[in-house]
């Protein structure tokens, strides 16, 4: 099986003070403590059991290669396949450059001239 990305979603409105539900035999709650940049994103992968190298490969190839900021990593090794989650965000300078470019593009469009 190797590894497979199975989902992810943006964390765009963090609400502090949430009270986690009690754990059950089938559901566990992972609590991420502050500070976490807002907005952030969480990505989920399934990993082949007994392949510790796969989590390292995801961190290296997906996140480190793109210089993304990682806030938390969770690997659940008691299941097969294993669950792997990463909370990440773009670095602030990348976000600032993207906002600048969008602002310039919008100004050009509003002025009726091509970008």
pLDDT tens for the chain, 115 residues: list them. Answer: 799 999 998 877 666 677 888 988 888 777 776 667 767 889 999 999 888 799 999 999 999 888 889 988 989 888 889 999 999 988 888 888 888 888 988 888 888 866 5
DSSP β-ladder status, 3-11 and 82-89 = unpaired
Sequence ranges of the domains in the chain:
3-90
b/e map of 9-42 (b: 16 or more CB within 10 Å)? eebeeeeeeeeeeeeeeeeeeeeeeeebbeebbb
Full DSSP string of 76-109: E-SSSSEEEEEEEE--HHHHHHHHHHHHHHHHHH
What is the value of pTM for the model shown? Answer: 0.72
Q: What is the pLDDT of residue 58?
A: 94
pLDDT at position 27 is 81
């Amino acid at each position: 099986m190797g590894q497979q990305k199975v989902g992810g979603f943006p964390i765009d409105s963090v609400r502090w003070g949430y009270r986690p539900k009690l754990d059950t035999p089938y559901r566990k709650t992972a609590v991420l403590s502050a500070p976490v940049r807002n907005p952030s994103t969480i990505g989920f992968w399934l990993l082949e059991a007994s392949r510790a190298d796969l989590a390292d490969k995801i961190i290296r190839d997906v996140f480190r290669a793109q210089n993304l900021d990682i806030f938390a990593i969770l690997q659940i090794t008691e299941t097969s396949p294993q669950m792997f989650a990463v909370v990440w965000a773009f670095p602030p300078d990348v976000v600032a450059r993207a906002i600048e470019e969008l602002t310039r593009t919008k100004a050009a469009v509003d002025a009726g001239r091509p970008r």
